[in-house]
Amino acid sequence: MNISAKQGERFAHAGLALLLLGLLPLALGPYWLNLVGKYLAFSFVAVGIVLAWGYCGILSLGQGVFFGFGGYAMAMFLKLEASAPELPDFMVWSSVEKLPFWWEPYSSLTVTIASIFLVPIPVAFIFAYAIFRKRVSGVYFAIVTIALSMTLVVLNIGQQGETGGANGITDFSTLLGFDIINDAGKVAIYWVEVVLLLTATTLAALLLHSRFGKLLIAVRDREDRVRFSGFDTAMIKAFIFTVSAVLSSVGGAMFALQAGLVTPSLIGAVTSVELVIYAAVGGRLSVVGAVIGALLVGFMKSYLSEHFPEIWLFFLGGMFIFVVWVLPNGLADLFRKILRVKA
Amino acid sequence: MSKISRRRFMQISGSLVAAGAIPGAGLLTKSSFAAEPIKLGLLHSLTGTIAIAEAALVEAEKMAIDEINAAGGVLGRMIDPVVADGASDWPTFAEKTKQLLQRDKVAAIVGCYTSASRKAVLPVLKQSKGLLYYPTYYEGQEEDKHVIYTSQEATQSVISAIEWMAKQQGKTFFLVGSDYIYPRTCNKIAKPTVARLGGKVVGEEYAPLGHTEFSSIINKIKAAKPDWIYSTVVGGSNVAFYKQLKAAGLDGGKQKLLSTVVSENEIDGIGKENAVGYYACMGYFQSIKSPENEKFVKAIKAKYGQDRVVGDPMECAYNSVYLWKMAVEKAKSFDVDKVTAASSGIEFSAPEGKVTVHKTNHHVSKKVRIGRARADGQFDIVHESGVIEPNPFPKL
Amino acid sequence: MTFRRGNQAPRRKAVIPAAISIEETFVTFGIFVMQLFNGLSLFTILLLMALGLAIVFGLMGVINMAHGEIMAMGAYTTYLTASFIEHHLPGLMGVYLFIAILLAFAVTFAFGYVLERGFIRWFYHRPLDTLLATWGLSLILQQTYRSVFGAQEVSVPLTTWLSGAWEPTETIQLPLNRIFIVALTILVTLGVWYILHKTRWGLRARAVTQNRAMSSAVGIDTNRVDALIFALGSGLAGIAGSVFTMVGSTNPGTGQLYIVDSFIVVVFGGVASLLGTAASSFLIAQMQTALEYLMSGSMAKVAILLLVITVLYFRPNGLFASKVRA
């Protein structure tokens, strides 16, 4: 069967919707569905990485910063709810007597949700625009972002009275009184998450098909020519980086809800590199592929470490090498070849 | 396809049973297959940064299980260990706890090393009505009905250690630790204790986790000239810390060092010659002279090689399996609530001597000891406390 | 004396508010000298750590995330050498470190050569993919160490004549092993500089990294040069790993501790510049030792990382970017 690229993409999106809305919820029990929910939290970031890296050539190894921000924002709200009217337990152990001022806004769910979506926008934009204006790119940008994420991890762990330190923020069970730990709660979160994710993938696809999408590719391939044509390429790059930051933040919030805790390692370099690998495994040029990649790597980690607890890293490492070596454009490329999608 | 449908089947049956709590499953299978093994989860980091300290615990736990099985099992059933890798990542610990409780349906879990991993699994234990035996010394400030804490909490080790130190020589202390909750809490307990004994804390420093450059901290110690260095530096950092202390001439002569973290296992990595003369405060030392301990050490060496050493956390991990077994036998059931209730007051003749689970607070009463490291990597026990009651929420 | 007082008064005040007596002054002076030495020592440690990467990443542009694991390979080689000599040739224990350093270099050099020929070279046209593939490789190497040597740390015995400290005065102790590292690093760095700038092979290597097509046209076997440069970088990592067994811990995760710091040093200094790497090691080391003395370890680290970010913002190609490439 020969199909065009456009048809192929529509099939992929439809297939993803079918998988997430129909197949997985029907086929999986609450245990696996919760795990899928956790992997899907990472897939938000992976979609952002496809946009920024796959289409615009910006490799950020600091996506964990925004992922962590969303996660901590959500967890702060949940923790305040869980411990009200007392202070969160870790503050008590650290002899913090008054709620730090920057926790105050997070006693409101509206503010929390707004901040998850909105705070990354100015932060990511100003940071990225300043850097891209200086024409820092490629590996240097990757290193700057990695340094940034390390800085925040160290800061976070050091301020344990206000952030929970190395333990992170744990032990919350309700969202506005609604139990989010039991199976029904997890399933409800799953639906919210899937709806958000499908919205994100659809918007991402629309963005890539717009004139702006073409511009992104042009910036990736010949930034100087785009610049000479009169475009502010730094603005374009900062914009797409900001989009990916917001996606990461939403993913982080979902992670806090699904996993029931956040820890400093979410911000760190290892998480950030892994997130890039999720996107690479799925296919850096495919929004749907990124989601599938996150699902697949997440599943492999859980499955392999369960069945081969002593040696599972061999398989995981081997898989990364295999994918990069044999399938440089990830699994999405494999599907394209199988379905003979015309480029 | 058949694989998926089987999994699906297990999911449905699993969730049905989970709703009625795990012991239901235990009883069901027991009536149909009398000798069906009972599963015990062993949840530790086998990979990642904490594996350095944690992987050895699984070996001690497996050995205890083998011994119990060889002696006929628990309530006539063999124990089947299910090992899970927490990968030094706290969310993974939570995920694996869920796997052990909801899918593998283990009767109890022995596991976790860092407080962070324990904190991460608490909500899951609560949700799935699990029982965790936590075999590591920790900072206290916790008493969860789903956890039995089988090692010394901070007051048991820190207060006895400081009291002993203050009696030896001079009363000025320098507190060094890794930058996270255990050292900070220990020092929070140490400071008023030092003040109560008429001593003085002349410095308090924290190094980021995994730090390997201690030269600046060492110079601060030199400038402050304390009589004692009280260390709660953990993990790989200790290797760097001890090596650099020794190289800088702080070799335990004029200024002595005591750690509540460094056991024989850590010394194995630090290097015997680098640890000589430094003190440690632990519940257990391999050099304890008692028939129980000699048997225990011999068994470990027979199973894992003559050059293996045994440290406090390994022994507590070993004890944990036995404390669970005894509670099950007392309760005559694998039911988590019954086992928890039966745990209160259980006594076990451990390699370190008698340990008793506290009547109410889920910790254990035990002796603690202070040892001075020898050239062969073992400790000379220089002090042994009386039995100390656990007190996880001390008033300071 | 006045000079020191004038310069060092604020710092000393922060530590010892009432430093008046003569004895106290000597102690303070001793601490000051030792802090200077610490800065020097950390400088050499960072430099040794980053040297291999400066070649692999700086000259070749290969992002090898498994570079840290190659250091660990050097450390484990040292451990094996020590164990072997301890059991079979105890008479050589005094000089085992030299044998171990040579062996560590040989092993990692060979590994690097094979790695480049069999793996890295397939990724030259897509540099960021190298990052992902070598990340996979680093996971596999870590697990290999864990399976072979166990998850626990291994202890590498300290050479007797390197333990202890040199005490020029009563209040100053300079650890001998650190003095050794300083000397060795200077030697290794000069060696690398010599190889790259004074030998025919170095000339070829620089030619290839600067203009591959042209070098190939004038008859240089660029494949062979690539493999040898990568092997040299790996070998230097092996030396670093071997030497660090004296100050740090040797466990399956050791490499992870060094890798990011190494990258930061190299990028901060500006790639393609050995001088830049040296200068950046020096700056970072001096700041770290000074800041660690003045504030908590965590805050010192934060301050340094922020400074690196700021400098990279103003000088995107690092402190000492080579002008040809900028």
Residues of C (46-85) whose Cβ lies below 8 Å from A: 63, 65
Task: Give the three-class secondary structure for B227.
Answer: coil
Q: How many residues does chain C have?
A: 326
User: Nearest CB to C293: which of B53, B219, B237?
Assistant: B219
Is ipTM beyond 0.85? yes
Calculate what percentage of chain A has a pLDDT beyond 70. Answer: 99
CA–CA gap between residue B290 and residue B301 (Å, rounded): 17
Contact residues, chain A to chain B, C-beta under 8 Å: 27-32, 34-35, 38, 90, 93-95, 154, 157-158, 160, 165-168, 170-173, 181-183, 255, 259-261, 263, 265-266, 302, 305-306, 309-310, 312-313
Number of helices (H) and strands (E), helices first, in chain C?
A: 12, 2
Calculate what percentage of chain B has a pLDDT beyond 90. Answer: 74
- Interchain CB distance below 8 Å, B123 and A29: no
Residue identified by tokens 């900028």 is C326
Looking at residues B2-6, what average pLDDT do you find? 43
- Per the CB < 8 A criterion, the answer to whether B394 and B189 are in contact is yes
Kindly report the nearest CA distance between residue B75 and chain C, in angstroms. Answer: 34
- Interchain CB distance below 8 Å, A168 and B116: yes
Among the ranges given (A33-37, B45-49, B217-221, C126-130), the one the predictor scored with the smallest mean pLDDT: C126-130
A343 belongs to a structural domain: no
- Per the CB < 8 A criterion, the answer to whether B239 and B207 are in contact is no
- Most distant pair of Cα atoms in chain C: their distance: 73
| C132 inside 8 A of chain A by CB | yes
Which chains contact C through at least 3 pairs of Cβ atoms less than 8 Å apart?
A, B
Whether the pLDDT of residue B26 is over 50: the answer is no
- Interchain CB distance below 8 Å, C247 and B211: no
In 3D space, the residue among B274, B313, B293, B269 whose CA is nearest the CA of residue B381 turns out to be B293
Q: What is the separation, in whole angstroms, between the first and last Cα of chain C?
A: 46
Q: Each residue of B189-218: pLDDT tens digit?
A: 999 999 999 999 999 999 988 888 898 899
- Per the CB < 8 A criterion, the answer to whether C143 and A313 are in contact is yes
**Domain ranges, ordered by start, for chain C:** 37-158+173-314
Rg of chain B's alpha carbons, rounded to an integer?
Answer: 22
Looking at residues B129-133, what average pLDDT do you find? 96
CA–CA gap between residue B73 and residue A210 (Å, rounded): 68
The token pair at A277 is 């690998």
| A324 inside 8 A of chain C by CB | yes
CA–CA gap between residue C210 and residue C271 (Å, rounded): 13
- What's the total number of domains in chain A? 1
Task: Give the three-class secondary structure for B74.
Answer: strand
* Residue B130 confidence (pLDDT): 96
Kindly report the nearest CA distance between residue A154 and chain C, in angstroms. Answer: 6
The dihedral formed by the CA atoms of A110, A113, A119 and A125, expressed in degrees to the nearest 10: -130
Confidence of residue B14 (pLDDT cuts 50, 70, 90): very low
User: Hey, what CATH class is B2-152+301-365 in?
Assistant: alpha beta
The DSSP H or E segment spanning C166 is strand C165-169
* Residue B34 confidence (pLDDT): 55
Q: How many residues does chain A have?
A: 343
Kindly report the nearest CA distance between residue A165 and chain B, in angstroms. Answer: 6
CA–CA gap between residue B148 and residue B317 (Å, rounded): 12
Whether the pLDDT of residue B2 is over 60: the answer is no
Q: How many residues does chain B have?
A: 396
Bridge partner residues of B252 (DSSP) = none
Q: Each residue of A105-140: pLDDT tens digit?
A: 999 999 999 999 999 999 999 999 999 998 887 778
Q: How far is CA C307 from CA B185, B316, C283, in A?
A: 32, 45, 11
- Strand-strand pairing, B147-149 and B172-178: unpaired
- Interchain CB distance below 8 Å, C155 and B268: yes
* Residue A274 confidence (pLDDT): 87
- Interchain CB distance below 8 Å, A320 and C316: no
Give the residue on A whose Cα is nearest the Cα of C140: A314
* Residue A226 confidence (pLDDT): 93
- Per the CB < 8 A criterion, the answer to whether A166 and B209 are in contact is yes
Task: Give the three-class secondary structure for C240.
Answer: helix
CA–CA gap between residue B339 and residue B326 (Å, rounded): 9
Task: Give the three-class secondary structure for B3.
Answer: helix
Looking at residues B379-389, what average pLDDT do you find? 95
Confidence of residue B43 (pLDDT cuts 50, 70, 90): very high
- Interchain CB distance below 8 Å, C173 and B248: yes
CA–CA gap between residue B380 and residue B277 (Å, rounded): 10
* pLDDT, averaged across chain B: 89
CA–CA gap between residue C91 and residue C198 (Å, rounded): 38
Number of helices (H) and strands (E), helices first, in chain A?
A: 17, 2
In 3D space, the residue among B173, B246, B257, B256 whose CA is nearest the CA of residue B215 turns out to be B246
* Residue C252 confidence (pLDDT): 92
Residues of chain B contacting A32 with CB distance shorter than 8 Å: 7, 11
The token pair at A321 is 């090498």
Confidence of residue A144 (pLDDT cuts 50, 70, 90): confident
Task: Give the three-class secondary structure for B35.
Answer: coil
* pLDDT, averaged across chain A: 91
The token pair at B245 is 């202390």
- Interchain CB distance below 8 Å, B270 and C155: yes
* Residue A8 confidence (pLDDT): 83
* Residue B294 confidence (pLDDT): 96
CA–CA gap between residue B275 and residue B272 (Å, rounded): 5
Whether the pLDDT of residue B163 is over 60: the answer is yes
Q: If 0-12 CB within 10 Å is exposed, 13-18 middle and 19+ buried, where does residue C297 land?
A: buried
Residues of chain C contacting B205 with CB distance shorter than 8 Å: 296-297
In 3D space, the residue among B226, B249, B278, B300 whose CA is nearest the CA of residue B62 turns out to be B300
CA–CA gap between residue C149 and residue C251 (Å, rounded): 8
The parent domain of residue A40 ranges over 5-338
A278 belongs to a structural domain: yes
Q: If 0-12 CB within 10 Å is exposed, 13-18 middle and 19+ buried, where does residue A203 land?
A: middle
Q: Each residue of B52-66: pLDDT tens digit?
A: 889 899 999 999 999
Calculate what percentage of chain B has a pLDDT beyond 70. Answer: 91
Residues of chain B contacting A174 with CB distance shorter than 8 Å: none
DSSP one-letter string for B244-258: HHHHTT-SSSSSEEE
Q: Each residue of A230-251: pLDDT tens digit?
A: 999 999 999 999 999 999 999 9
Residue identified by tokens 């009536």 is B31
Spell out a b/e string for A245-275, using b for 16 or more CB atoms within 10 Å of the CB, else e.
bbbbbbbbbbbbbbbbbbbbbbbbbbbbbbb
Confidence of residue A343 (pLDDT cuts 50, 70, 90): low
Establish whether the linkage from the previous residue to A85 is cis, with ω within 30° of 0: yes
In the DSSP assignment, the letter for residue C91 is: G
Q: Each residue of B224-279: pLDDT tens digit?
A: 999 999 999 998 889 899 988 988 888 877 889 999 999 999 998 888 888 999 99
Q: Model-level pTM?
A: 0.89
CA–CA gap between residue A45 and residue A65 (Å, rounded): 11
Tens of pLDDT, residue by residue, chain C (326 residues): 333 333 333 444 444 444 457 777 777 888 888 889 999 999 999 999 999 999 998 888 888 989 999 999 999 999 999 999 989 988 888 889 999 999 999 999 999 999 999 999 888 877 778 888 899 999 999 999 999 998 888 888 878 888 778 888 877 888 898 999 999 999 999 999 999 999 999 999 989 888 888 998 998 998 999 999 999 999 999 999 999 998 888 999 888 888 888 888 988 888 767 888 999 999 999 999 999 888 888 889 899 999 988 888 888 778 876 554 43
Confidence of residue B23 (pLDDT cuts 50, 70, 90): very low
The dihedral formed by the CA atoms of B83, B88, B94 and B99, expressed in degrees to the nearest 10: -20
What is the CATH number that goes with domain B154-282+368-384?
3.40.50.2300
Q: Each residue of A258-277: pLDDT tens digit?
A: 999 999 999 988 888 888 88
Sign of CA dihedral A23, A26, A29, A34: positive
* Residue C278 confidence (pLDDT): 92
* Residue type, position B38, single letter: I
* Residue type, position A184, single letter: A
* Residue C26 confidence (pLDDT): 78
User: Hey, what CATH class is C37-158+173-314 in?
Assistant: mainly alpha
**Domain ranges, ordered by start, for chain B:** 2-152+301-365, 154-282+368-384
Looking at residues B6-24, what average pLDDT do you find? 42
Q: How far is CA B331 from CA A341, B18, B337, B340, C3, in A?
A: 65, 21, 9, 9, 77
- Per the CB < 8 A criterion, the answer to whether B31 and B43 are in contact is no
**Number of cross-chain residue pairs from A and B with Cβ atoms under 8 Å apart:** 121
Whether the pLDDT of residue B22 is over 60: the answer is no
